[in-house]
């Protein structure tokens, strides 16, 4: 959230994300008519699983709001990387993101904002 504010975007952390029966992203951010909804994940491992329902909820929320859905992931000692839902690797029960994927397909924060 602080990265957005530091780059002249507004952002807020959504209270109840993950604990409400309604779709709710972790972060809602915007600037100049562009709106992002972001599900954030972190891991000390080399990959991270994301349940299908979390991605579906993110896409649903973004669609209703007219926003862009993104998944932000940060592995230990690495910077945030951002993925569109279509860029995630499908598994039997959801999706996975790996350290290798952050280098191959992930957008850096600056790329996400279009300032890079």
The per-residue pLDDT for range 31-89, each reduced to its tens digit, is 999 999 999 999 999 999 999 999 999 999 999 999 999 999 999 989 999 999 999 99
* pLDDT at res. 80: 95
User: Distance of CA 38 to CAs 26, 59, 92, 97, Å?
Assistant: 6, 10, 23, 15
Active-site annotation holder among 17, 43, 47, 96 = 17
> What 8-state DSSP symbol labels residue 86?
G
Encoding tokens for residue 36?
């992002």
H helices within the chain, ranges in order?
Answer: 2-6, 52-65, 99-104, 109-113
Active site residue 19: no
Question: What pLDDT is attached to residue 21?
Answer: 84
CATH number of 6's domain: 3.40.1350.10
The domain total for the chain is: 1
Distance CA 31, CA 46 (A): 33
pLDDT at 4: 97
Nearest C-alpha neighbor of 35 from the set 3, 13, 67, 80: 67
Q: Which domain holds residue 89?
A: 2-113
pTM for this entry: 0.92
Distance of alpha carbon 4 from alpha carbon 100, whole angstroms = 25
């Amino acid at each position: 959230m602080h990265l957005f504010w530091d780059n002249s975007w507004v952002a807020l952390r959504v209270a109840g994300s993950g604990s409400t029966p309604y779709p709710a992203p972790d972060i809602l951010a915007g600037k100049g008519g562009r709106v992002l909804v972001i599900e954030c994940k972190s891991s000390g491992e080399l990959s991270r699983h994301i349940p299908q329902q979390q991605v579906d909820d993110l896409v649903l929320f973004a669609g209703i709001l007219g926003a862009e859905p993104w998944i932000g992931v940060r592995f230990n000692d690495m910077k945030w990387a951002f993925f569109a839902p279509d860029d995630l690797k499908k598994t039997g029960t959801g999706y996975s993101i790996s350290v290798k994927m952050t280098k191959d397909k992930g957008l850096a924060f600056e790329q996400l904002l279009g300032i890079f």
